[in-house]
Amino acid sequence: MPTVSKEDYLKTIYQRIEEGEQASTSSIARTLKVSNAAATDMLKKLSLQGFVNYKKYKGVSLTAKGRKEALSLLRRHRLWELFLMKVLKLKWDEVHKEAELLEHKTSEKLIDKIDQYLNHPKFDPHGAPIPDKRGVLPKEKKFIRLDAAKENKIYTIVKVNDKDDELIRYFAEIGFKLNTKFEVKKIFNIDGTITVKNKKGQFNLSPVVAKNIFVREVRK
């Protein structure tokens, strides 16, 4: 099994809670691609160090100390994504993996310089909010996951989950980029498949795909 840092655990817990999911041991293990036993051992250590509140079978939450650490890592990650895309011209689906490597090796001095160079951006290339130096997040307007959308409504994309490069490439192929509009034509009760229509055409999105897209309704 791969070795995963404590910062990766804290970031994963934060992101699962941020996305409205439960941060259970099994879900954390699945996301980080480690065994349940390895995840349990790390969560116990993080609990002893004051980073998380952990009780067996009850899920995990972050303490103030853990949240601060998670936001610091997310700040580095999201600023690197934006820098790689805007300055070095990497593609939308290429920046996540590179930022995953760089986030652990970047000093606060360097990340502050990158933040300043980019003029203190509020959101990364995938629509996720960038914490400032104090760990304060920019205010976001309300949004929902696409799998909670309704038929015959028009939506705009405000954020996508960037953890899967293949998924990001697919979003680009079908024209599902930030701030683009589309219409939900039909939702199939049998399996939750959603038919959407945008300028590129009409597409069927599975529930697995839809839950990685965050949208806001466009009022007519």
Report whether 143 contacts 124 (CB < 8 A): no
Q: What is the average pLDDT across 43-69?
A: 91
For 145-182, how does the pLDDT look when each residue is reduced to its tens digit (9 = 90+)? Answer: 999 999 999 999 999 988 888 899 999 999 999 999 99
Residue 206, pLDDT score: 95
Confidence of residue 220 (pLDDT cuts 50, 70, 90): low
List, in sequence order, every residue forming a beta bridge with 144; answer none if it has no partner.
215
Distance CA 98, CA 100 (A): 5
Report whether 84 contacts 117 (CB < 8 A): no
- Which residue did the predictor score with more confidence, 178 or 55? 178
Residues of the chain with pLDDT > 70: what percent?
A: 98
Q: Residue 83 pLDDT more than 80?
A: yes
For 119-138, how does the pLDDT look when each residue is reduced to its tens digit (9 = 90+)? Answer: 999 999 999 999 999 999 99
Confidence of residue 1 (pLDDT cuts 50, 70, 90): very low
Domain annotation for the chain: domains and CATH numbers: 6-62 (1.10.10.10), 144-217 (2.30.30.90)
For residue 120, give Cα distances in angstroms to 19, 111, 160, 168: 24, 11, 21, 25
For 103-119, how does the pLDDT look when each residue is reduced to its tens digit (9 = 90+)? Answer: 988 999 999 999 999 99
Confidence of residue 3 (pLDDT cuts 50, 70, 90): low
List, in sequence order, every residue forming a beta bridge with 194; answer none if it has no partner.
187, 205
Residue 192, pLDDT score: 93
**What's phi and psi for 144, nearest 5 deg?**
-130, 165
